[in-house]
Structure 1
Amino acid sequence: MSDVIAAEQRNDKRIVQIELGDRSYPIVIGRRLFDDASVWSSAGEGDCAAIVTNTTVGPLYAATLERAISNRFRRVIHIELRDGEEFKDAASLNHIFDRLLSERADRKTVLFALGGGVVGDMTGFAAACYMRGIPFVQVPTTLLAQVDSSVGGKTAINHPLGKNMIGAFYQPRLVVADLDTLSTLPAREFAAGLAEVIKYGPVLDPQFFNWIETNIDALIARDTDALGYAIQRCCELKAEVVAKDEHEANVRAVLNFGHTFGHAIETGAGYGVWMHGEAVGCGMAMAADLSARLGMISEAFAIRLRRLVERAGFPVVGPRLGADRYLELMRHDKKSEGGEIRFVLLDEDGHASIRPAPDTIVRQVIDANCQRS
C-alpha cells in the first residue's frame, strides 16, 4: 500500500484516506451510509448546513441526508438547482450565493453537495468563493462522481467557450459514497460513469484494466461487490495522483485521458446533448487511436480499448462537427499551451504522457472516428 493513502475496510465500509497534510480527508464507500452516525463525524457541526442538490436528486435523498446531519447542525437549509450540464453556469452559481446570503450563512456554514458531478463541482466552487472559503462535504450520488469528480478538489463551472474553464482547486472535508444511491440512477447516466472507471486502467494500472475487462458485465449489472471494489480502486489511484500533484501541474493531468476529445464533443454538440461520460468514452477511443498512429501503442491495444468502451455501452463515433471545429475547441483545453493542443496519450505498458500531436495526424483521427456529412 502506498504511503500517500490508507485504505481499509471496516465492517461493510471501505475507507480511502486522501493525505494532504492538514487538508486530508476520508472517502467512505459502502451501503446504508446515511443511517450510520459515525460516517458523518468528519462533516463538522454548528449553526447552519446547506444541502445543495438538484430537482432530480433532491426529492430522492435530501430529506434522508437532512435526517443524517440534523443532530450536528441547528438548522439545515436546502438549495435546489436545475438538473443538467447546461445549467453548470454562472447563473446557477449565483443562485447558491443568493440563498446563502439571504439565509445569513457565515464562515462556519457547511455545504453538502448532494448529487452528481455538476452539483459537486458547483457546490465546491461556491464553497471556495463564499466568504473566501467555507467547508463542504461531497455526497456523490452518481457513479461518475463517486469514482472521479467528488475526489481531489477540482471545482468549476462551464463557459460557452470551454468546459470547466472557471473554477478553483478546493478540497472537501469528507466524501460519502453510498452505493445504495446508484440503484436509482437511470441506465444511461449509470453507464456514463463507467467511462471514468475505465480510464484509470490504461493510464495508471494495467492489472485494474484487466480486471475491468473481466468484470465489465458485473459492473453493468450494478453488482454491489464489483462496484465497491471498482470505486475503492479508482479512489486509491486518484488519491495517489492528487497527493503528488494537487493542482494538476503535471502528473495529475493524465487523469484527463479522453477528455480533450471528449470536452470538444460536449461543447461542440451543446452541453447536455452528450453526457460527460459518453463523450469521455468516445474520447478515450479517439485518444487511443491517436496514440497508435503516433507509434506509442500497438493498434491491437487501441482496438482492445475501443471494444471495452463499446461493451460498456458508449458511442465510439463522435458527432459531425468538422475537423476545423474540433481543433478550435481543443485549443481551449486547459492543457493547451500557447495555442498548442496537448493530449494525454498512452504508452504500451499502461502509462500515459502529455504531449502535442501534429494537426495532420489529429485530423486523421477525427476523420476516422467521427460522423461524416
Structure 2
Amino acid sequence: MLFDHTETTLDNIRHLKGFMQEHVYPLEGEYRRFTDAHPWRVFPRMEKLKDKARAAGLWNLFLPEDYGDFSPGLTNLQYAPLAEIMGRVLWASEIFNCSAPDTGNMEVLAKYGTPEQQRDWLLPLLDGQIRSAFLMTEPGVASSDATNIETRIDRDGDDYIINGRKWWSTGAMHPDCRVYVVMGKTNPEAPRHQQQSMILVPADTPGVNVVRPLTAFGTHDSPHGHAEIQLTNVRVPATNLLLGEGRGFEIAQGRLGPGRIHHCMRLIGVAQRSLELACARVGERTVFGRELSKFSSVRQEVARSRCEIEQARLLTLSAADRIDRHGIKGAKDLVAMIKIVCPQMACTVVDRAIQLHGGLGVSSDLPLAEFYAYARSIRLADGPDEVHMYQLGRNTIGQYAGVSS
C-alpha cells in the first residue's frame, strides 16, 4: 500500500500551502474580530478570497468525480492532504468551496439529483453562489439512529407537506443559505430502513421557522452556525424529492461516509498545526530558569502527539484509498475506525498544546480553543463514538468469530 503523492497532488499541495501562507493566515485575527462583532455576516474579504482560489484552480477540490469545469476530479486519496492543509484554519475550507455541509449536499445532488434539481441547486452550489444546510438531527429522538427520525413528509397531490423539528442544522444560519436537504419519514409502516426520504426545501418556503442559533461550547461557529428549525406545514413540489420515497436512509449512508472522512482529514490539520504551535511555544519559553523544551515531560508529550497524528493520518489515507478502490460500502469499517480515532486524537493533541501554552492556550489570541471545540463536537457529529464502536465491534466479531448481528 503506497501513499506517495502524485505529481498532480504535490503541485496542488504547493499551490494550496502558498495560498494559505499569502492570503489566509495573515487574516486570522481580522476574521476572528469581525465574526465576534458581526456573527451572522459574511467576512468582507471572503468573496475576493474565493475569486482568488478559483483563479488559482483551487476550487471544489473535494468532488471526486469530474463535474465539467466545476471540479478538478481528484480522488479521495489526492484530496486528503489538501483537506488537511485547509483544516489548519477552521474557516478556510469555505474559500475553496470545500466546507461542510455543502460538500455532502453537493455530492448528494451530483449522485442522486435530477437534471432539474442539479440545475436549480447543484450548479449554484458548485459555483459558490449559495450555501446549504442538512436537516437530519432532531431534539426529541436519538438521531444517531436515523430510523428514529420523526419528521413527517406526507404526499398531498403534486406536493409534499413537511412537519417536524430539527436542530444542529449546520449551515442554516449562513446569510447565503438558500436550500435545506431535509430527512423525514414518508411511510412509517414500511420496513425500518425504507421509511425515510430526503427532500429539498428552499430556505424561504412558508412554514420554515429558524427558532434559534445553537452554540457549541459557547461559540456560534458563525457565520454558518447551527440552527434549531421548526417545519410547520411546509409545502414543496413532489419533484423536490431526492431519488424516491423510502430512499432516504440509503442516501444518508452514501452522504455521511464521505462527510466523515472529510472531517477526519481536516482534524489531522487541526492536530498538526496544534503540535507545531506547541513546539514553537516550548522552544521560546523559559520556566523556573530552564527552557520549557528541555523538560523530559514536555518532550514526551510532543513525541506522543507526533506519533498519534501520524497514526491517524495513515489510517485516514488508508480509508481514502479504500473508498477510491472499493466505494464507501467497501470502506465502511475503515471509515468507522477513523471516525473513532481522529476526533479523539485531535482532542488529545490540542489539549496538550493548550496546556503547554498556559493561559494563552485558552485565549482567542490562538486558534487552540476553537480547535478543541471543533474536535470535541465531531466526536458527536455524523454519529457519536459509541455508534461507530458498536458497529465496528459487531462487524469485527462477525468476521473473526463467525457470529452474525
TM-score range, shorter chain: under 0.3
Structure ID, larger Rg: 2
> Which structure's residues are more often strand, by fraction?
1
